Structure 1
Amino acid sequence: MDVAFDLNLLRVLVALDAARNVTRAAQELDMSQSGFSTALARLRRQVGDPLYVRTSRGMEATPRAAAMVETARAVLAQVQADILEQPVFEPGTARAEFRLAMADVAEIVFLPRLLAHLQTAAPGVTLRSESWARGSLREAMESGKVDLALGYFPDLSSGPFYQQRLLTHTYAAMLRRGHPALRRRLTLATYLELGHAVVASPSRSNELFEQFLEREGVERRIVLRTPHHLSLPVIVEGSDLVASVPLATAARYADAGMVSVARLPFDPPFFPVQQYWHRRSHRDPALRWLQAQVARLFNDERDDWMVMERRLYGRLRPEKP
């Protein structure tokens, strides 16, 4: 048998078995009768058997054809299901894990709302969230170790990556409740006099803020450097230190009664909060479904921090890109 077997010949076999007539089988496959006969002759040569012979009752299968036809139907059905049909994602019954990349500060923004939604819309779906350094994140997304990156990742804005803007965000000061500096508007002089707690982590939003301060010539008196945003509220709550953090972080811990939020004594930078994915998974139905859920849950219309931002800074927000 020729190793380079043409799977189209299985369609010829199945059609002829169903029709038991060359003319009708050719019509079923939208082939000319001569073309069908040529294909049937090829199949007969490859398997070394006549397969179907003319009798008074029409074309009858040989024992070899009878043994082959069910396997042929199964092979064609599997090719159709696994290769030719577009895959679908059924969130209500799916069992899947999505691997997300985000800094710990982004987890505060995304995970509570996203998890609550998934528990209803896709109860069999689980999430894995990790923080990745700049270079390793690109490699992780290229290799499929990360499905979706959520937050601010300017290093993913070019190359084989897609991105979708969700909302725009900024920064605020976080101090303990009852801090003397809160008795009046926080001035730049007071801001510089205070001791500062600073997060030194792979978060790109931290880098953006540090670069902004450097450009503006603002030099803080840093008392503490910590790798985690999640430790800041406890540190700030129990000290007179101030922390400059993304507004959502400050708002989250203010809602918990741990800290107070104050306006920074300058117009802070803004940054886009986006979702990013690699082109290798651009058409994956499961990931496309997740992207749609994220976009529906996090957007300008559902920006929970807009009211606080405007209370602190007025209408500083840049125009939408």
Structure 2
Amino acid sequence: MNTLRLIIALEETRNVTRAAELLDMSQSGVSSALARLRKRFGNPLFVRTSNGMEATPRASRMAENAREILSRVKTGILDLEEFDPSTEVADFALSMADVAEVVFLPRLLACLHTEAPKVTIQSASHRKEELLALMETGRVDLAVGYFPEIDTHAFFQQRLYDHTYVAMLRREHPALEAPMTTSVFSNLGHAVVMSPARTNDLFERFLEHRRINRSVVARTPHHLSLPSIVAETDLMAVVPLATGAYFADLGAVELVALPFKPPVFSVNQHWHRRNHHDSRHTWLRQKMLTLFNTATDRWLSLERELYGDLRRRAR
């Protein structure tokens, strides 16, 4: 790098003394460096004329290339990188359960359509044992949801908001005629999702800790099949509140408060240290935080209607 700067300075100033001042070097230091270059390339590079140190054709070509190289170094390495979502292309890989996609993707994609038209999103669900490796290698940029296993020093996390659970029953289900009790909850048949969604594990541990039993009649790997299952049977399904609200809006199921104070879990976004300072990833994380936070929590009023102030109890 110093050699490139030396060639440019000599070519521009045509004077060893002024080149030395420009480079903050001694005159003897510039002369010694020029002598080494002449020996290395077998070319005088700069010759004395009435107009000063005139560059040879070889030195002129070297100076031209040196300017291009230094410009690339400055813009590609030394300058602070900035991401312009309105013009730049970017492709992000997210990890989230199918139930989370229903919550996050519509609002995120609507935002990208207007603010970042050349940004694309790829979402997939990953099991615990593969997610960390995918994030370490950069194949997953951001994990969004409840991921208690991502707790190593190699990862960062940021809380978006807190969330809880609700029960779903078909319309005109006999259990809707009276307040739900723990006995009714335990005696009803349940449809349960067995998927990479970590919230399922959390609720199972909660029931086990409280010694609350339930009769599991059906297991499915997909949350999105639950509305049809519940609507056509007498089975109950317990899902995150946002998911239940979405299914209820479709008109297929009724939401029912659980007969006990359900657990509250944090919805976080997680990323690997390798992406922490990347301008593209920083922009995406900030956009997620702006779209999804306690202030924009669309389900908080429904939660309070069903359970009161769950969050104070959780704290």
Percent of aligned positions that are identical: 56
1:108 matched to 2:92: no
Where does 1:50-65 land on structure 2 (aligned, <5 Å)?
50-65=44-59
Does the CA contact (< 8 Å) of 1:9 and 1:40 recur in 2? no
* Equivalent residue, structure 2, for 1:77: 71
Residue 40 of structure 1, aligned match among 34, 59, 80:
34
Structure 1 CA distance for aligned equivalents of residues 65 and 231 of structure 2? 71
Select between 32-41 and 160-169 the one with higher mean Cα deviation: 32-41
Structure 1 CA distance for aligned equivalents of residues 14 and 314 of structure 2? 66
- Can you list the C-alpha shifts for 1:97-156, whole angstroms capped at 9, x where unaligned? 100000111111111111111111101111000110101000000011100000000100
1:203 matched to 2:201: no
- Can you list the C-alpha shifts for 1:136-183, whole angstroms capped at 9, x where unaligned? 000000011100000000100223000000000000101112222122
1:15 matched to 2:5: no
Normalised to the residue count of structure 1, the TM-score between the two structures is 0.95
Cα 1:320–1:64 shift into 2, 3 Å: farther
* Structure 1 gaps, min length 5: 1-6
Does the CA contact (< 8 Å) of 1:102 and 1:129 recur in 2? yes
1:218 matched to 2:212: yes
1:252 matched to 2:246: yes
Structure 1 CA distance for aligned equivalents of residues 197 and 10 of structure 2? 64
Residue 209 of structure 1 deviates from its aligned partner by 0.3
Residue 320 of structure 1 deviates from its aligned partner by 8.7
Residue 99 of structure 1, aligned match among 93, 96, 102:
93
Structure 1 CA distance for aligned equivalents of residues 179 and 137 of structure 2? 49
Letter in 2 for 1:248: A
Structure 1 CA distance for aligned equivalents of residues 185 and 296 of structure 2? 31
* Equivalent residue, structure 2, for 1:241: 235
Does the CA contact (< 8 Å) of 1:104 and 1:230 recur in 2? yes
* Equivalent residue, structure 2, for 1:136: 130
Structure 1 CA distance for aligned equivalents of residues 80 and 242 of structure 2? 39
Structure 1 CA distance for aligned equivalents of residues 200 and 39 of structure 2? 70
Select between 20-29 and 132-141 the one with higher mean Cα deviation: 20-29
Structure 1 CA distance for aligned equivalents of residues 258 and 314 of structure 2? 23
Does the CA contact (< 8 Å) of 2:263 and 2:314 recur in 1? no
Residue 280 of structure 1 deviates from its aligned partner by 1.0
* Structure 2 gaps, min length 5: none
Residue 319 of structure 1 deviates from its aligned partner by 7.3
Structure 2 CA distance for aligned equivalents of residues 86 and 239 of structure 1? 59
Letter in 2 for 1:55: T
* Equivalent residue, structure 2, for 1:159: 153
Letter in 2 for 1:153: F
Structure 2 CA distance for aligned equivalents of residues 29 and 256 of structure 1? 70
Please state whether the residue corresponding to 2:234 is helix, strand or coil. Answer: coil
Please state whether the residue corresponding to 1:225 is helix, strand or coil. Answer: strand
Cα 1:41–1:297 shift into 2, 3 Å: same
Letter in 1 for 2:48: R
Structure 1 CA distance for aligned equivalents of residues 105 and 44 of structure 2? 64
Does the CA contact (< 8 Å) of 1:236 and 1:243 recur in 2? yes
1:283 matched to 2:261: no
Structure 2 CA distance for aligned equivalents of residues 202 and 66 of structure 1? 62
Does the CA contact (< 8 Å) of 2:264 and 2:314 recur in 1? no
* Equivalent residue, structure 2, for 1:124: 118
Structure 1 CA distance for aligned equivalents of residues 266 and 80 of structure 2? 33
Residue 55 of structure 1 deviates from its aligned partner by 0.9
Does the CA contact (< 8 Å) of 1:88 and 1:285 recur in 2? yes
Does the CA contact (< 8 Å) of 2:195 and 2:221 recur in 1? yes
* Equivalent residue, structure 1, for 2:143: 149
Does the CA contact (< 8 Å) of 2:264 and 2:310 recur in 1? no
